[in-house]
Amino acid sequence: MTRDFRSHLGAALAAACITLAAVPAAAQVELSGYWARAGDADNGYSREPVDLLGIPVSADGRAKALSYDIAALSATERQCQMYPPFYALTGPFGFRISSVQDPITQKLVAWKLDGWIDRDTTTIWMDGRPHPSEYAPHTHGGFTTGRWEGNTLTAVTTHAKMGDIKRHTSFSSDRATLTYRFTRYGDLMTVTGILEDPVYLAEPYVLTEIFRVSTGGQTFPLTACEPIEELPTLHENPALVPHYLPGQNPWVNELTQNRGIPLEATMGGPATMYPEYRKGLRETYKPPDTCKIDCGAPPAAAAPAPAPGGRGAPPPAK
């Protein structure tokens, strides 16, 4: 073996060793920043109080939704009842993402998602810790772990309290699991959420939303909940529990009256999500001649209408 050959062999081995060592251990994408809602989907639309269009509710989920009176949010004990993590996809607001790093090693320990005043912080633990026992306390923010799949952050949330998943029209139970993915495309980020709930959903409920990173800093308040007496009658009679008994929700027909959409469709359910359902609708759908309510308007004339009964006005018309 000549000296030249040994020299070249050594070079090749050294290069191979270092190249192998350079295989990425875990790809990471910077997610920190203020993210403003940028998508045009109607995730947060809530003009009609009974609107389960496209939501795969179970029979129990439908019953829960129809028993709900939004005035319940004004009851003293519910004024700071925050939304569950899924509200990041259905609420009208953006959120802030920040990283939590180990103070010594600087390794990423967690991501934090902070939102509007009605949403708790969601901490996405990235350090490999397991989810707690199913009997562990539940919180509004839930318990979340995450992992990288390529350039996408996949997170799983459990242990969240029961909450509002469709702006006052539908709910998830405290047994729900939310899997969501955060994928960044330049200054945009697509979030896909899959909510599974053995109590209130018959199939996974999938929503997507697009956010744009904001260079303008904080664009929304990150304050604690402020209890406000909105309905004096509840204060005068603390025993009053706003609700609707079965069959007595007065808003059930509003979507049908406003839009001509068959009542059966407005009640949701898994079948309403799939293309086959559209074929049957053709026979029963009786649209108005022209749109009369909340139709979108040219820029100069846009004037968002107030939401019926309570906090949370719909997003501005586009």
Partner 1 sequence: MKASWLAPLTAAALAFLVPAGVLHAQRGAPPPAAARDAAPIDLTGYWVSVVTQDWRWRMTAPPRGDYRGIPMTPEAFKVAAAWDPERDEKAGEECRSYGAPALMSVPGRIRISWQDAETMKVETDAGTQTRLLRFTPSPGAARGARSWQGDSVAEWQIMRGNAPLNLRPAERVPGVPAPAVGRGGSLKVVTSNLRGGYLRKNGVPYSENAVLTEYWEVFPRDNGEQWLTITTLIEDPRYLRETRMIAIPFKKEADGSKWDPTPCSARW
Taking CB under 8 A as the criterion, the residue among 103, 135, 232, 318 binding partner 1 is 318
Residue 22 in contact with partner 1, rule: CB under 8 A = yes
Residue 10 in contact with partner 1, rule: CB under 8 A = yes
Taking CB under 8 A as the criterion, the residue among 137, 216, 246, 298 binding partner 1 is 298
Residue 277 in contact with partner 1, rule: CB under 8 A = yes
Distance CA 191, CA 292 (A): 33
DSSP 285: -
CB of 120 to partner 1, least distance (A): 24
Distance CA 209, CA 121 (A): 19
Q: Output the six-digit token pair for 160.
A: 């969240």
Residue 285 in contact with partner 1, rule: CB under 8 A = yes
- Binding segment for partner 1 among 72-80, 138-146, 150-158, 170-178 (CB under 8 A)? 150-158
- If the CB atoms of residues 6 and 311 are measured against partner 1, the closer one turns out to be 6
Cβ of 89: how many Cβ atoms within 10 Å?
Answer: 24
Residues between 193 and 252 with contacts to partner 1, criterion CB under 8 A: 194, 204-210
Nearest-CA neighbor of 128 among 26, 32, 31?
26
Half-sphere exposure for 176 (CA within 13 Å, toward CB): 33
- If the CB atoms of residues 160 and 261 are measured against partner 1, the closer one turns out to be 261
Q: Output the six-digit token pair for 158.
A: 């459990």
Helices of type H across 101-248: 232-236
- Binding segment for partner 1 among 67-75, 157-165, 240-248, 258-266 (CB under 8 A)? 258-266
Taking CB under 8 A as the criterion, the residue among 35, 43, 119, 161 binding partner 1 is 43
- If the CB atoms of residues 226 and 276 are measured against partner 1, the closer one turns out to be 276
Residue 177 in contact with partner 1, rule: CB under 8 A = no
Distance CA 154, CA 157 (A): 10
Q: Position of tokens 């009053």?
A: 240
The two most distant CA atoms of the chain are separated, in Å, by 99
Taking CB under 8 A as the criterion, the residue among 26, 104, 228, 245 binding partner 1 is 26
